[in-house]
Each structure stands twice: as structure tokens, then as C-alpha cells.
Amino acid sequence: MDISVVVPLYDEVESLPELTSWISRVMDENRYTYEIILVDDGSRDGSWDMIVKLKESNPFIKGLKFRRNYGKSAALNTGFEAANGNVIITMDADLQDSPDEIPGLYRRITEDKYDLVSGWKAKRYDPLTKTIPTKFFNAATRRMSGINNLHDFNCGLKAYRKAVVKNIEVYGEMHRYIPVLAKWAGFTKIGEQVVEHRARKYGKTKFGWTRFINGFLDLLSIFFVGKFGKRPMHFFGAMGTLSILAGIIIAIYLVGEKLYNLAHHIVPRQPTDNPLFYFALVAIILGSQLFLTGFVAELVARSAPERNRYQIEETI
């Protein structure tokens, strides 16, 4: 099978007939073998009934229905597990992503040999309250991930080589940072393609301002797990060691100061009267806690079933 189109959706009953018809027309025009996987993330507006109806007239449609709303990451991960195509295309169900982009994305994967190609909606129809924070988070993600050639990490329109989606796990709200997950999994050939951004035709957006806070926290999680997931002691141990050393240096300074005062017959003040004493105490205690945290995290990491699981590209 050439292409699997994975579409996560939540309360998008009005757009589904037009979207699926459009996708099928593009596929037929280009003679692709394909499937359309519609993942209903607990919709309450009759979206699932519409999927069942569309399935009756289009055998290439597959439907998956969650019992409740789990979020876009869960929908994408489930769709990835069900996908059988050599190339997987993801797009949103609100008709803001154009299926006409599919052939171009498909060629970037099959001919240019990219692992992942992310869309970039250079011209957007979103309000400033959405575009400005988005630019900030994209800049922060580029800096932290080292993927400097992407302008929009969260664009729903993406293309993947099959191996990519079968070797990453999208959970929580990590769908915003799938390129980062792919990079940490060893898929480093990541490209970008300018795509059309269409104004929303039906309904309203399902995302509020809290997604920016969650997105920042998820970015920190990805960065930490990707860099130190298999060696947490390198992070906590290093921080703890530096903190303990700082405390010891301050303590030595305080002892040296007191000895100097005694040698010169200067009445020394009590160590507890010096604020540096408490800085030293806190630094040593905090460093010990960080070191112990790293030790416990290392034990947990060594007990994890995936502790010795690595990505193998090929064998001969």
C-alpha cells in the first residue's frame, strides 16, 4: 500500500464528507493505493455516525472510535499503529489542511528519501493571539532540539516514512514535537515543505490558551528524556556534585576565615551569624538530595523493559 492518511478528529461531523471525498479524488488522480484512517477522539456531535455512513460508500475508509476524549496525541499514536501504508500522511479534519499537498509530500519521502517532512503554513489565517505564541515556541523548540530547518513543528500536515511512526510513541500532548521524537529515535533526515493554510470552514477551534503552557512543559520533558532517559545519573549526579562542591568550598572559606581571625587575635564571629553558613548548608543538603535522586532514577532506568532497546536501521 502506498499511503495511509491518518486523520484525528473531535466534533468535525460537518467537514468529514468533503474531506474524505477530496482525499479520495487526489488518490485516484495519482493512482495511489491508500487507506483513510479516521480516529474519532470521543466526539459528541455525531462524527462517528458520519464515519460509519462514509465507510458504506468508500471501502478505503477505516474508523477508530475512542470511548472518551483522550487528546490528539493518543489519536495519532493509535492511527500510527493501525497504518499499513509505506508513507503515512497526517492532517487535521477541519479542512484547514489541503489534500492537494499529498502528492508533493509523498514524493519528498519516496524520491528525496526523507524520514519526515513537515508542512509549513507560511501564510496563516489565525489571530495574533495564536500566531505570536506559536512563533515563540517554534523558536524555543529549534534551539533546544537542534532541528533548525523547521518553522512550524506543530503543523498537522506531515508525511512520514513507515519506519518512523512504527518506532516512536506519541503520548500526553507530544504531538506538537513529533519531529523531535523522531530525531531522538534516530531519524535525522527531516525536511519541510510550504503548504497551504485554509481558513476554517466549519465549527471552531478545539484548543485554548492552556496548550501553550502544556506545550512548553512537554518540550522540557522531551529534551530531558531524550538526552538523559537512559542515563539520569549524568544529569542529577552532575548537578548534585556541583552543589555539594559549592557548599564545601563555602564551608572551607568560613573555616579559613575563622582560623585567620584567631591567628591575628581578632574576635571571630560565630559561623551561624554569617549568611554564607546557611548557603553552604542548603547547597550540601540540596546536592545530596539531587545525587540520591539520580541514584534512584538510575535504578528505575535499569529496571525499565526498554532499557536496552535501540533503533536498528538494517541488518545483513
DSSP 186-218: T---EEEEE--BPPP-SS-----THHHHHHHHH
Would you place residue 316 in the very low, low, confident or very high pLDDT band (cuts 50, 70, 90)?
A: very low
Instruction: Please indicate, yes or no, whether residues 222 and 255 belong to a single structural domain of this protein.
Output: no
pLDDT at 55: 95
Instruction: Please indicate, yes or no, whether residues 11 and 34 belong to a single structural domain of this protein.
Output: yes
Instruction: Please indicate, yes or no, whether residues 183 and 246 belong to a single structural domain of this protein.
Output: no
Give residue-wise pLDDT tens across range 185-244: 889 999 999 998 877 667 666 555 566 666 677 777 767 766 776 678 888 888 999 999
CATH assignment at residue 72: 3.90.550.10
pLDDT at 121: 86
Of 175, 203, 227, the last residue of a domain is: 227
Residue 98 clears pLDDT 90, i.e. is over it:
yes
Counting the structural domains of the chain, the total is 2
Residue numbers of the domain that contains 219: 3-227
In terms of C-beta density within 10 A (0-12 exposed, 13-18 middle, 19 or more buried), how is residue 149 classed? Answer: exposed
The residues near 28 (Cβ < 8 Å, ≥ 6 apart) are none
pLDDT at 315: 46
Query: Is position 92 within any domain?
Result: yes
39: phi > 0 → left, psi -120 to 50 → alpha, else beta; which?
Answer: beta
Residue 310 clears pLDDT 50, i.e. is over it:
no
Please tell me the pTM assigned to this model: 0.74
Instruction: Please indicate, yes or no, whether residues 95 and 208 belong to a single structural domain of this protein.
Output: yes
Instruction: Please indicate, yes or no, whether residues 298 and 219 belong to a single structural domain of this protein.
Output: no
| Beta-bridge mates of residue 9 | 40
Of 227, 255, 276, the last residue of a domain is: 227
25-43: average pLDDT: 96
User: Is the sign of the CA dihedral 19, 22, 27, 33 positive or negative?
Assistant: positive
By the 8 A CB rule, do 76 and 90 touch?
A: yes
Q: Distance (Å, rounded) from C-alpha 222 to C-alpha 177?
A: 8
Give residue-wise pLDDT tens across range 236-293: 888 999 999 999 999 998 888 888 888 887 877 777 788 888 999 999 999 999 988 8
Closest CA to 115 of 5, 189, 182, 175: 189
Residue 62 clears pLDDT 90, i.e. is over it:
yes
Instruction: Please indicate, yes or no, whether residues 199 and 140 belong to a single structural domain of this protein.
Output: yes
By the 8 A CB rule, do 219 and 177 touch?
A: yes
Instruction: Please indicate, yes or no, whether residues 93 and 241 belong to a single structural domain of this protein.
Output: no
